[in-house]
C-alpha cells in the first residue's frame, strides 16, 4: 500500500504488520504446510530438476494465458527445445513469459544447496525479467526501463499512478522485501500486488509480476523446490485474480486482507498441482533430464 512506511533495518517493518491482519496468519500457515509436504515428495530426492522444468513450463503457459495469450504447454516446450520459435501476436506474449521463466530459473538456488554467494539485487532482477518478457512485444527502448507514460495493460485494475510515483513505490516495496521479517508468503504477495497495482513498465507487467513473485517464493524459503503452481490457480479463475488485485490497488484494508488470504490459498492449491507433476515425473510421463 502506498501509505505504508518503508522498512528500516532493525526498525519498523510494514510487511510484518500486514501479517497480523485477520485470517492472514492461518492462511499463511496452511500454505507453508502444503509447501513443506511437497518438499518431501519422493521425486525431489533425485529428479527435482525435471519437476522444476515441467512446472516452469506450466507456470509460463498459465501466466501467458492470464495476459491474453492462451498458448499451450506443448508449444512452449517446442520453443524451449529449439524445435520451433514463437511468432507475433499472442505467441510473442507467450514467448516473453517463457523467456522470463527461463531467466528466473537461472536465479533459483539448487534444491538442498547451502546458503552462500550474493543474490542479484531485486531491482536488477526486475529489469532483466521485463527485458525478457517484453522483447518482441514492446519497443526496444521500453525494455527493462520504467515507463514514461501510461501503461498499456491491466486496465481492469483502474488508473495507474504517474510514472514517478510508480517507480518510487516499486523501489520502496523491493527495499522492504529485502529486509522484512514477515513470512515469505506475505513478502511475495505484496511485491506481486504492488507490481500489478502500479504497473511500472509500458507493458508486460502481469508476466513480470508473476515471474518475480515466483522467484521470491523460493528465495524467501516458502517453496524451496521452486515448483509450486499458483499461476494455474489464477489462470482457472482470472476474474477473481483481477478483482482481488483491484481491491488491493484501491488501498482498502479489507482488500489487502482479501489479496493476502487469496494468495495464500493459491499457493496452497498450487502445491497440490506441483505434487501432481511430481507424480507424473516418477511415473515416467516426462522426459528425464540428468544433471
Domains and CATH numbers, the chain: 14-282 (1.10.3290.10)
User: For residue 52, what pLDDT band results from cuts at 50, 70 and 90?
Assistant: very high
Whether the pLDDT of residue 289 is over 50: the answer is no
Would you call 174 helix, strand, or coil by DSSP?
helix
Give the other-Cβ count within 10 Å of 236's Cβ.
12
Q: What are phi and psi of 106, to 5 degrees?
A: -70, -20
C-alpha triplet 7, 9, 11: angle, nearest 5°: 65
Whether the pLDDT of residue 199 is over 50: the answer is yes
Both ends of the chain: CA-CA distance in Å? Answer: 43
Q: Please identify which residue in the block is written with the cell numbers 540428468.
A: 290
Q: What are phi and psi of 5, to 5 degrees?
A: -80, 150
Q: What are phi and psi of 222, to 5 degrees?
A: -65, -50
Q: How many helices (H) and strands (E) does the chain have?
A: 13, 0
Query: Among 89-98, 117-126, 137-146, where is mean pLDDT lowest?
Result: 117-126
Query: Among 83-87, 103-107, 201-205, where is mean pLDDT lowest?
Result: 83-87
What pLDDT is recorded for position 246?
96
User: For residue 275, what pLDDT band results from cuts at 50, 70 and 90?
Assistant: very high
As a whole number of angstroms, the distance between CA 283 and CA 41 comes to 13
Cα–chain center distance at 157: 18
Question: All 3 cell numbers of residue 37?
Answer: 509436504
Give the other-Cβ count within 10 Å of 65's Cβ.
22
Non-local CB neighbours of 277 within 8 Å, separated by 6+ positions: 51, 54, 55, 58, 227, 229, 286
As a whole number of angstroms, the distance between CA 134 and CA 36 comes to 34
Listed as own residue / partner, the contacts of 5-8 with beta carbons closer than 8 Å and 24 or more positions apart are 6/172, 6/175, 6/176, 7/175, 7/176, 7/179, 7/180, 8/179
Amino acid at each position: 500500500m502506498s501509505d505504508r512506511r518503508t522498512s528500516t533495518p532493525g526498525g519498523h517493518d510494514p510487511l510484518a504488520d500486514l501479517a497480523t491482519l485477520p485470517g492472514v496468519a492461518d492462511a499463511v500457515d496452511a500454505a507453508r504446510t502444503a509447501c513443506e509436504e511437497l518438499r518431501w515428495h519422493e521425486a525431489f530426492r533425485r529428479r527435482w530438476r525435471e519437476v522444476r522444468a515441467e512446472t516452469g513450463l506450466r507456470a509460463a503457459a498459465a501466466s501467458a494465458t492470464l495476459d491474453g495469450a492462451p498458448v499451450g504447454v506443448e508449444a512452449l516446450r517446442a520453443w524451449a527445445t529449439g524445435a520451433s520459435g514463437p511468432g507475433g501476436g499472442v505467441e510473442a506474449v507467450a514467448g516473453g513469459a517463457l523467456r522470463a521463466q527461463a531467466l528466473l530459473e537461472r536465479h533459483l538456488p539448487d534444491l538442498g544447496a547451502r546458503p552462500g554467494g550474493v543474490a542479484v539485487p531485486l531491482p536488477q532482477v526486475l529489469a532483466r525479467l521485463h527485458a525478457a518478457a517484453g522483447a518482441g512485444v514492446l519497443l526496444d527502448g521500453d525494455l527493462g526501463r520504467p515507463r514514461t507514460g501510461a501503461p498499456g495493460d491491466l486496465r481492469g485494475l483502474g488508473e495507474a499512478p504517474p510514472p514517478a510515483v510508480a517507480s518510487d513505490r516499486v523501489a520502496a516495496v523491493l527495499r522492504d522485501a529485502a529486509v522484512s521479517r514477515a513470512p515469505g508468503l506475505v513478502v511475495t504477495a505484496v511485491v506481486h500486488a504492488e507490481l500489478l497495482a502500479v504497473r511500472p513498465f509500458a507493458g508486460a507487467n502481469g508476466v513480470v509480476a508473476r515471474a518475480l513473485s515466483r522467484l521470491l517464493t523460493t528465495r524467501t524459503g516458502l517453496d524451496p523446490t521452486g515448483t509450486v503452481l499458483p499461476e494455474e490457480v489464477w489462470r482457472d479463475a482470472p476474474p477473481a485474480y483481477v478483482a482481488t488485485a483491484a481491491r488491493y490497488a484501491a488501498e482498502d484494508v479489507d482488500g489487502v486482507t482479501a489479496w493476502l488470504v487469496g494468495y495464500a490459498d493459491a499457493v496452497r492449491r498450487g502445491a497440490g498441482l506441483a505434487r501432481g507433476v511430481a507424480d507424473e515425473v516418477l511415473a515416467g510421463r516426462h522426459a528425464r533430464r540428468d544433471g
